[in-house]
Amino acid sequence: MNQEMEDFALDVEVGANRVFEFTHEGKKTKLFTRHLAGKDYYSFDEKRWVKLPKLGANEVLVSNAETYRVFRGFKPSGLHAGGAGALITQMPGKVVKLFKKEGDTVAKGETVLILEAMKMENEIKSGADGFIKAINIKEGQALEAGFLMVEIEE
């Protein structure tokens, strides 16, 4: 047990008709969703449908004994390529530099902060044009369990 923490990234793009396209290690997977009688259902093949649990917008995503940080609307550089939208990675680290403050406008692709993680400095870039709605971190802060660092509103 106690495997080495691995760098784990899963990119997602939300397309038309709420079809989710995930990319993990170069492999693409489609997840279809539909709404019936007040509940959401999902399917990987559009044939077998299963109830989709409702989840709040959270800072972390937990799976068994591991906690992953959720990056919404932007993604750390140096990780898997993918479009804007939600990106999940597991990256405990330290905030090296913050380039923006709350209320600032930000352009898609612009670096918002630098996070030192996995012994690498990662430029965390905005995935969308918008403004900084909230900053929940400060420079020098060590991020352990993982949380929502910056919220960007389109």
Partner 1 sequence: MKGKRVLIINRGEIAIRVAKALNELGLISVGVWTDNETEPPHLEYCQEWVHLAGSNNKETYLDIPKIMKIIEDYKIDGVHPGYGFLSENREFSETLAKKGITFIGPNPDAVYKMGAKDISKQIAKEAGVPVVPGSTGEVDSVEEAIKIGNEIGYPVLLKAVAGGGGKGMRPCYNEKDVKENFSAVQREALSSFGYAGLLVEKYVLNPHHIEVQILADKKGNVYHVFERECSVQRRHQKIIEEAPSPFIGADEAVRKAICETAVKCAKAVNYDSAGTVEFIMGEDKKFYFLEMNTRIQVEHPITEEITGVDLVANMIKAAFGESLDFNSQEDIKIQGHAIELRICAEDPISMLPAPGKIVGFETTFPQGIRFDHCIYPKFAITPDFDPMIGKLIAKGFNREVALRKVKNALDGLIIDGIKTNIPLHKVILEEENFVKGKYSTNYIGTVKPQEKVPVKDSIESFMVKIAGIELNQMGGVK
Task: Read off the tokens for 28.
Answer: 């693409």
For partner 1, the binding residue among 37, 47, 48, 56 (CB under 8 A) is 56
The strands making up 142-143's β-sheet, listed across from edge to edge, are: 74-76, 120-126, 111-117, 93-98, 142-143
Task: Read off the tokens for 27.
Answer: 């492999």
Q: Which is nearer to partner 1, 12 or 132 (CB)?
A: 12
| Residue 49 lies near partner 1 (rule: CB under 8 A) | no
Q: Rounded to an integer, what distance in angstroms lies between the CA atom of residue 91 and that of residue 118?
A: 7
| Residue 142 lies near partner 1 (rule: CB under 8 A) | no
Task: Please give the size of the binding site for partner 1, defined by CB under 8 A.
Answer: 41
Three-class SS of residue 29? strand
| Residue 101 lies near partner 1 (rule: CB under 8 A) | no
Residue entry with tokens 């397309």: 15
For partner 1, the binding residue among 14, 96, 118, 148 (CB under 8 A) is 14
Site residues, partner 1 (CB under 8 A): 1-3, 10, 12, 14, 18, 20, 22, 24, 29, 31, 33-35, 40-42, 44, 51-58, 60-68, 70, 85-86, 88, 145
